[in-house]
Amino acid sequence: MPIDPKADTMALWSREEPTDPKFTKAFTRGGGFRGTAINPTYVRKRLTHAFGPVGLGWGVEVLADDVVPGAPVHDGQGRLVGNESVQRTRIRFWYHPAGCAANDDGVLAPRGPRAVTEQVGQTTYVTWRRGKNGEAGRFDTDEEAWKKSLTDALTKAASEVGIGADVHLGLFDDSKYVNDRTRDAEAEQGATDGAARLADAQEARDNAYKLLERLEEVHDSDAYGSAVTAALQLRPALLRLGLQGELERLRAATEEAKRRVRKAAA
């Protein structure tokens, strides 16, 4: 049965599935296994973008963790030396499918009910390193095992809502898909950044115009000092956004307000 990506039940998955190749890395494991790893911070950023801040729109509860024996290790005479070990972490991943939104007071709050799923992550904790050039072998311990297992479990849980699903589906094995995703991701980010810059510029202009009106009403030193402080706080944004005209008008209005205050005090 074909999967309709535009079905109502697929809306979240279809929105979150595409992965930006910039945040992935190819890897090779023992036995020649190859795959693609997703940057774990990028996964958390995607979760925050989809559902809201961690602890509010989504979160993780560790249900259990343990260490279990791994592969047995034998010496040259076939005698058991010991075992490698594996660290496992089981988590409950919760999230609000409808995400978060600001309420009437401007406070961010979850929308709709919470959804829950569980996952398990694992990492080799103790590994046997064979000796080279006649040296004895040794056991190595990975002190990062618990963190890696938690990351593994979270990445798997995120894939259940679509985040990074194209990687897990094996689509990143196709170089054409990766090239297309790279191009699309750059275009999408460029459009988003452009829209955000336009919104920032409009907000900065609006604040500049309000400050200009405020400066026109300044006739005493207290009001002047407060307006100058506001102008200094606004200046970095105007410079960053290239709003030279607004900067010049504020400078002229500030000088005019200064003259009025001095004249009133004389």
Domain tally, the chain: 2
Q: Count other Cβ atoms within 10 Å, centred on residue 196.
A: 10
260 in the same domain as 152: no
Amino acid identity at 21: P
157 in the same domain as 76: yes
pLDDT for res 180: 86
Complete DSSP assignment for the chain: ----TTSGGGHHHHHH----GGGEEEEE-GGG-EEEEEPHHHHHHHHHHHH-SBTTTEEEEEEEEEEEEEEEEE-TTS-EEEEEEEEEEEEEEEE-TT-EEE-TTS-EEE-S--EEEEEEEEEEEEEEE--STTPPPEEEE-TTHHHHHHHHHHHHHHHTTTTTHHHHTTGGG-HHHHHHHHHHHHHHHHHHHHHHHHHHHHHHHHHHHHHHHHHHT--SHHHHHHHHHHHHHHHHHHHHTT-HHHHHHHHHHHHHHHHHHHHHH-
Question: 242 lies in a domain?
Answer: yes
pLDDT for res 30: 66
List the chain pLDDT tens, one digit each, 266 residues. 788 888 999 999 999 999 999 999 988 876 667 889 999 999 999 999 999 999 999 999 999 999 999 989 887 777 888 899 999 999 999 999 999 999 888 899 999 999 999 999 999 999 988 877 767 788 999 999 999 999 999 999 999 999 999 999 999 888 898 898 888 888 888 888 888 888 888 988 999 999 899 888 888 888 888 988 988 898 998 888 888 998 899 999 999 888 888 888 76
Question: 179 lies in a domain?
Answer: no
Question: 2 lies in a domain?
Answer: no
Question: 29 lies in a domain?
Answer: yes
Residue with tokens 């311990």: 141
153 in the same domain as 48: yes
- Which of 125, 140, 172 is a domain's end point? 172
Give residue 154's domain range: 8-172
The length of the chain in residues reads: 266
Question: 115 lies in a domain?
Answer: yes
159 in the same domain as 258: no
- Which of 172, 201, 228 is a domain's end point? 172
Residue with tokens 């706080």: 233
